[in-house]
Copies of this chain bind each other. A is one copy, B any other.
Amino acid sequence: METLDTVPDEDFLRLDHQICFSLHAATRAFNGVYREALKELGLTYPQYLVMLVLWEHGELPVKGIGERLRLDSGTLSPLLKRLEAAGYVERRRSPEDERSVTVRPTGAGTALKEKALGVPRRIAAATGLPLEDIRDLRERLDALAVRLDGVDPDALGSCT
């Protein structure tokens, strides 16, 4: 049987054997398609993700958004500032905890949801995959991400 151990290093190093490259390429291909689809909404893809969680939850602290999207404040702070400048969200320091900032969609931000409704369907159609396959792929990717997030950094250093 073919296992990790029976494949020579050289083969592992060849670009076309590496899943990471495919993942990278697929992500950028998706980004390109989303860029096109989101153009009419005036949103970038990460901004769209933020609006998605806000539409679902009504309002969230920055931290809550970050947990759901696995993004830190260094990424979210400027992104939210741009969304605020575009008039789609409001930011307010929480009265209960002055450290926290609550983000919620404005009227315009909520209205945007109607225009966004068709987007994921069109993307799904663009993949040309049946819903079942999309789900299956999604589950594999999620499982992969969970595994990779849990990897011990020391295990990746040199082969000691």
Contact = CB atoms under 8 A, between A and B. Distances in A.
Contact of A156 (B27, B36, B138, B145): B36
Interface residues of A, number: 77
Given A27-B23, A132-B2, A142-B25, A127 B148 contact: yes
A151 B26 CA distance: 13
Contacts of A12: 117, 120-121, 124
A132 to B, nearest CB: 7
Interface in A28-48: 28-30, 32-34, 36-37, 39-40, 45
| This chain's copy number in the assembly | 2
Nearest to A27: B27
A144 B29 contact: yes
Interface string A141-160: 11011011101010111110
A4 B126 contact: no
A111 B74 CA distance: 36
B122 A155 contact: yes
Given A19-B141, A26-B142, A26-B145, A33 B120 contact: no
23 contacts: A2-B132, A3-B130, A4-B130, A12-B121, A12-B124, A13-B52, A13-B120, A18-B52, A20-B45, A20-B120, A21-B49, A22-B142, A23-B30, A28-B145, A32-B148, A37-B156, A40-B157, A118-B158, A126-B147, A126-B155, A126-B156, A133-B140, A137-B140
